[in-house]
Structure 1
């Protein structure tokens, strides 16, 4: 299973025996790299993380003010070239906070400052955005259904928005978070004036550093929790209906898990089928017990005692095996 972040492409290719594709794109910091995407019949599957993933950049090299989503737009163009008529765009795991500006530039949108000059890459540059030129937007996009698959439902701006919630994970300082939030607010204001509609508060607008906002505003994309899309394509509901027990989990399980993460989606499907769910997580954070109301029967941390993160990662396989064994022994007694 997956929820729009890393692993979504692999999950869907495995379930459907689709075709794995790849193309050369610009990474978040402008480096040329190979990025994978998939084709399931006429449906293309694209992960933002494949072109602009946080895990692709070592912590010491992360640049949240300048990281750019241009490569995501290049993957979309590859899907259009392959005659896809539906694109599933997985928004998890991004290193960018540019409101999707780079993606839009790759697709033909010109983002201009007050002097009519093209903006430089990155979210910080959006504070000087004054005008949009959408005349060059790839016309093929009008013929394609685009669904953004996300594991979060955050708005674009504010304390619950892209910059404040996810910016620190991408290396942004407190001052940079504030600047990026103001930059995204300016983007939203310019878009509202240009299009006459405002998507900044829509669920998922803040996903992938605001790329969800760009997809909804410029590409007419619809938003769905990624876990729902993956579950539907993989036939998870039918599979769960024939089982006695479900295991799910993630690295850290807390209150944010309820906002579209894989375990919450799996648990809700299992709850409808009356099947118990055991959740195994690297760590249990504040608010994880709220998952009990949506179908999780019990949740356990993998760690067996005090240990460093490096040690926990090194021994993750053994820890997972031990906790799964312990939970199963309790369940069968």
Structure 2
């Protein structure tokens, strides 16, 4: 699938869903706050090209750039652009090879994105390893941030290469996963079928906030393996293996937490019966948990824990984060905009330009452009979106609080050309936006 070609049915819509601002409405401050164009440009590159195009037409208009992300790829970059310090560490990649990954740190707050250490882009040669890929490197990044003094860790989920339920992540933070002979389990989701003992006695405490809008459960037809496994290279037979491993993992976690609640040896699951695992939850089987949700776990069954909304995020990392680390889910883009100070940057702006590679129905479900638009409207700004391609109707754009949308495919119908020439095409779109929305007041001399 090409980077901008999400699974959606294209629909006709004009390049501008609403009429441009009337003449005489001189814009004194423009904020450019886009997400990445996946497979083409980073968010910072998108913002730079848009700023260049605006300045060609209206050099007198102050322009600020603020790359954004919703918790997936580019989250660390967005934090660094807003004043966080980039910190690098050598950690375990998804295949076990060392990789250099980065997190962002400001004061006692660290921002970590799973894709940095355990993402698809970290696979050597792009070769998918659905059964053995591990989240361990993300846990090592969290440990590095804690060692650097972080008292709050914001974890962005997205772009992960693994389906190990977060087992590798918690191992890096001190948990032990052993087989029936007391040996450490190999990495990956498939090995979880042989899990015999889960020892949480050495697990570090992590003040964790999970920035994600995913609400899938761990197991079942809407779970981590069935929904996201194929994107990571899992074939039908692999999905059955991963589902069995995740089910056994859920049983082990439930037993370990029950042991903690009952005063047994700290967080030790004890022996699991061979083949014992919870049945896959039904498509509608979910435990209730409100927004800003946290789980805990003591006293809950494996089925209840597996059904927690968000447990299936990032190959099941959401499950480990909720149940074993006491993490709290927060809506990705809304939380990150608040953390990065979007309201202050948008204050006084009359126009905010946002965007992403594909503006479609998925954009309406917690993606960056809609989150930016809603926050910008609260600040009193008009909102324009840019995209590589778009399929949203004018009515959908209005409901998303977007005043107008411009697509590269309006200028160049061939998607491959749009991807290859995204930068210059964005500059041309920005020139059009400047002409439509930044009309100088008649009393103001033209530059």
TM bracket (short chain): 0.7 to 0.9
Instruction: Determine the C-alpha separation between the residues in 2 that align with 1:319 and 1:154.
Output: 37
The farther-off stretch of 291-300 and 120-129 is 291-300
Partner of 2:54: none
- Look up the match of 1:19: 85
1:97 match: 163
Partner in structure 1 of residue 32 of structure 2: none
Higher relative contact order, chain-length normalized (CA < 8 Å, sep 6+): 2
Partners of 2:214 and 2:201 in 1: CA distance: 31
Write the distance in 2 (CA, Å) between the matches of 1:29 and 1:77: 19
**Secondary structure class of the residue paired with 1:167:** helix
- Residue 205 of structure 1 deviates from its aligned partner by 2.2
Q: How does 1:135-174 map to 2 (within 5 A)?
A: 135-138=201-204, 141=205, 144-174=206-236
2: CA distance, partners of 1:284 / 1:176: 34
Query: Is 1:313 the counterpart of 2:419 in the alignment?
Result: yes
8 Å Cα contact 1:157-1:206 kept in structure 2 = yes
TM-score when normalising by structure 2: 0.67
Matched, 1:236 2:298: no
State the match for 1:7 in structure 2.
74
Q: Is contact 1:52–1:96 with CA below 8 Å preserved after alignment? A: yes
SS at match of 2:211: strand
Q: Name the CA distance, whole Å, in 1 between partners of 2:125 and 2:406.
A: 29
Cα distance, 1:58 vs structure 2 = 5.6
Aligned pairs, how many?
327
Quote the offset at 1:12 in angstroms. Answer: 1.6
Q: CA deviation at 1:274?
A: 4.5
- Cα distance in 2 for partners of 1:80, 1:288 equals 46
Partner of 1:183: 245
Q: 2: CA distance between counterparts of 1:176 and 1:324? A: 46
Q: Indicate yes or no: 2:183 matched with 1:76.
A: no
Distance 1:225 1:330 in 2: 33
1:202 aligns with 2:308: yes
Residues 59 and 171 of structure 1 are in contact (CA less than 8 Å); yes or no, is this contact kept in structure 2?
A: no
SS at match of 2:153: strand
**Alpha-carbon separation, structure 2, partners of 1:95 and 1:290:** 32
- 1:211 — aligned with what? 317
| 2:15 corresponds to | none
Describe the superposition over 1:76-135 as per-residue Cα deviations: whole angstroms up to 9, x where unpaired: 111221222111112122111111111111112122344544321111222333432111
Note if contact 1:46-1:90 (Cα within 8 Å) is conserved in structure 2.
Answer: yes
- Conserved in 2, the CA contact under 8 Å of 1:15 and 1:233? no
Q: CA deviation at 1:264?
A: 2.2
Using the size of structure 1 for normalisation, the TM-score is 0.88
> Which residue does 1:261 correspond to in 2?
367
Deviation at 1:247, TM superposition (A): 1.6
CA drift at 1:59 = 6.4
Deviates more, 1:198-207 or 1:73-82: 198-207
Per the alignment, do residues 268 and 186 of structure 1 end up closer, same or farther by CA in structure 2, a change over 3 Å counting?
farther
Matches within 5 A, 1:92-131: 92-131=158-197
Change in 2 beyond 3 A, CA 1:211/1:306 = same
Contact 2:332 2:366 in 1 (8 A): yes
- Structure 2 CA distance for aligned equivalents of residues 193 and 291 of structure 1: 47
> Compared with structure 1, are the counterparts of its residues 89 and 321 closer, same or farther at alpha carbon in structure 2 (3 Å cutoff)?
same
Contact 1:45 1:88 in 2 (8 A): yes
CA distance in 1, matches of 2:186, 2:102: 26
Can you give the 5+ residue segments of structure 2 that lack an aligned partner in the other structure?
Answer: 1-67, 258-298, 440-447
Measured against aligned partners, the alpha-carbon deviations of 1:188-234 in whole angstroms (never above 9, x if no partner) come to 23323332334433343222211121111111111112212321122
